[in-house]
Amino acid sequence: MSSSDQSMVYVISDSVGETAELVVKAALSQFSQGKAAITRIPYVEDTSTVDDVITQAIENNGVIAFTVVVPEVKNYLLQQAASHNVPIYDILTPMITLMENRLNTSPKNKSGLIHTLDEDYFRKVEAIEFAVKYDDGRDPRGVLRADVVLIGVSRTSKTPLSQYLAHKRLKVANVPLVPEVEPPEELFDVPSEKIIGLTISPKKLNTIRTERLKALGLKEEANYAALERIEEELLYSARIMNKIGCRIIDVSTKAVEETANLIYQLVHHHSS
């Protein structure tokens, strides 16, 4: 089949144009292959580009499908297509109108918003992957790349806090503080305002660790949950936090969500 036998479909968008092209391809899949060729014209923001597409559509007996939402360009496109008898299909307006009536509010009429949402989604995924990779001090290099670094003894909710904050698009690394293990050198190269120390009352931590041992089927008398050991760890962690000069949050009576929101506010207050 020669190109002259094909129909031309011009896909116009004031953004990337992927949405319109997918709709056109879905429609064309209902017909025999080779009957139509698609030309995508993205980022159409001026009337001169509209004139060029209209001219090509006339010359190639083409049709136009579009997802232009900026009123000036959209109206000009519709007017020119009508005056030159070029078949044209508006992909978004029927759905936008339906949503406008249902939601009882006006659309933004801004191009590229779906890609803004996509970027936000990928930032969240990246933050979640970061939290997993740099959890529990696995790779100390992560503290230098993090938006916030959480430090504290075991069972002060460092990991769940890291994941919760990742869903808020923050890259979080966490480092356990253990008396027998020196903190990574990188920790002292991070600005203190980026580090949050987590502390907890000895009795509360004793209860948490005892329950943890039960869940693992281990003896409750293990040194891990011994009050003397816990007090030793907390004293050590307090010295490290004071040396760094970071802000400290007592998580004894706070839910993870409450602590996470507090950290989020502290980080954004500093960056603003």
> How far is 8 from 218, CA to CA, in rounded Å?
71
Q: Which amino acid is present at 61?
A: N
The string of pLDDT tens digits covering residues 184-197 is 999 999 999 999 99
The string of pLDDT tens digits covering residues 123-132 is 888 899 999 9
Question: Binding-site residues for ADP, please?
Answer: 152-159
pLDDT exceeds 50 at position 144:
yes
Q: What is the dihedral of CA 52, 54, 56, 61, to 10 degrees?
A: 180
Question: Binding-site residues, please?
Answer: 152-159
The string of pLDDT tens digits covering residues 98-137 is 877 887 777 665 555 455 555 677 788 889 999 999 999 9
> What's the CATH code, domain 118-271?
3.40.50
Output the six-digit token pair for 93.
Answer: 């307006």
Q: What is the DSSP string of 40-54?
A: EE----SHHHHHHHH
pLDDT exceeds 50 at position 263:
yes
Q: Any idea which fold 3-111 has?
A: Rossmann fold (3.40.50)
* φ, ψ (nearest 5 deg) of residue 37: -120, 145
Question: pLDDT above 90 covers what percent of the chain?
Answer: 60
Q: What is the dihedral of CA 168, 171, 177, 180, to 10 degrees?
A: 150
Q: How many residues does the chain have?
A: 272
Q: Do domains 3-111 and 118-271 have the same CATH topology?
A: yes
> How far is 204 from 253, CA to CA, in rounded Å?
9
What is the predicted pLDDT for the residue at 115?
53
Break the chain into its structural domains and give their ranges.
3-111, 118-271
> How far is 227 from 212, CA to CA, in rounded Å?
15
What is the predicted pLDDT for the residue at 93?
81
> How far is 44 from 39, CA to CA, in rounded Å?
13
Report, as an integer, the average pLDDT of 190-214: 96
Residue 155: strand pairing partners: none
